[in-house]
Amino acid sequence: MASPVISISPLHRSSTFQPIAAATATPNSSTPTPLSPASPSHLDTFSSDPILSAFLSHDFNPTYFPSSALSSGSAASRIEVRLLDTQLRHEVLSRHHGLLHQLSSTKAAESSLSSLRTSVSSLQSTVRHARSKLSDPHRVISAQTLQLNNLHSTSSLLQYSIRTLRSTQKLRNLVNSQPDASKWDLSKAAQLHYEILTLYNESHLSGIDVVDV
């Protein structure tokens, strides 16, 4: 009965590949060593191998190749999986202390992050509370400031209006006090007229009925 043929995965073939040792000459030997035929190079061995030649292909896919080799279900593939698992266990055990240190650092970072989240949440709650406490007083102050500004503007208009009316009354009294126009004090009348026009234009008294009359 013939023995079953076991297919060799690319990883198994590459791991069992051994270079051919070169022949060395004996220093004290008087008989010259005959030249042996040149041994094939690694690239020649790879290119002639039906499986390893895939590594030399221009369209070689490093992701698809091991996946295809390990999913073939052959005995060699299962052996390679066990070898990889053994190597993985060895790496974990050799770096056991470093991994534990990183794990403890990660837990400490998570704890600090959780504390930071709590602090941020508390700060946001405090800001919302302060905003609610300050919003009403701010609204009242803004309204009262507007009222004060309006009162100040009105007071200024009244002051300029009164000055304009007084100057107008003085000009009228000056004109009415002397029926003869040739005897008017023209310099004083001109000064009063200039003051009235200046107050009216610079103080924006246009539209006030008492002044316009």
Q: What is the pLDDT along the chain (213 residues), one digit of tens a residue?
A: 444 444 444 444 444 444 443 334 444 444 444 444 455 566 676 677 666 676 677 787 777 766 776 666 665 566 666 776 787 788 888 888 888 888 888 888 888 888 899 999 999 999 988 888 888 888 899 999 999 999 999 999 899 899 888 888 888 888 888 777 777 778 888 888 888 888 888 888 888 887 776
Residue 205: Cβ within 10 Å count: 19
Predicted confidence at residue 145, as pLDDT, reads: 94
Predicted confidence at residue 4, as pLDDT, reads: 44
Rounded to 5°, angle at Cα 173 from 169 and 177: 175
Both tokens of residue 172?
């009228």
Predicted confidence at residue 207, as pLDDT, reads: 82
Q: Is residue 9 part of a domain?
A: no
Q: Is residue 3 part of a domain?
A: no
- Is residue 48 within 8 Å of 54, Cβ to Cβ? no
10 closest CA partner among 70, 83, 99 = 70
Predicted confidence at residue 76, as pLDDT, reads: 56
Q: Is residue 204 part of a domain?
A: yes
Q: Is residue 80 part of a domain?
A: no
- The number of domains in the chain is 1
Residue 69: Cβ within 10 Å count: 21
Q: Is residue 109 part of a domain?
A: yes
Q: Is residue 130 part of a domain?
A: yes
CA separation (Å) from 164 to 25, 193, 198?
129, 10, 9
Predicted confidence at residue 19, as pLDDT, reads: 44
- Is residue 196 within 8 Å of 164, Cβ to Cβ? yes
| Structure confidence by residue, pLDDT tens digits, 114-150 | 889 999 999 999 998 888 888 888 889 999 999 999 9
**What is d(CA 155, CA 102) in angstroms, rounded to the nearest whole number?**
75
Q: Which domain holds residue 102?
A: 98-212
Amino acid identity at 79? I
Report which secondary-structure segment, H or E, holds 60: none
Predicted confidence at residue 8, as pLDDT, reads: 46
Predicted confidence at residue 42, as pLDDT, reads: 60
What SS3 class is residue 69?
helix
**What is d(CA 134, CA 128) in angstroms, rounded to the nearest whole number?**
10
Q: Is residue 36 part of a domain?
A: no
Q: Is residue 91 part of a domain?
A: no
End-to-end CA distance of the chain: 134
- Residue 10 has, within 13 A of its CA and on its CB side, a CA count of 18
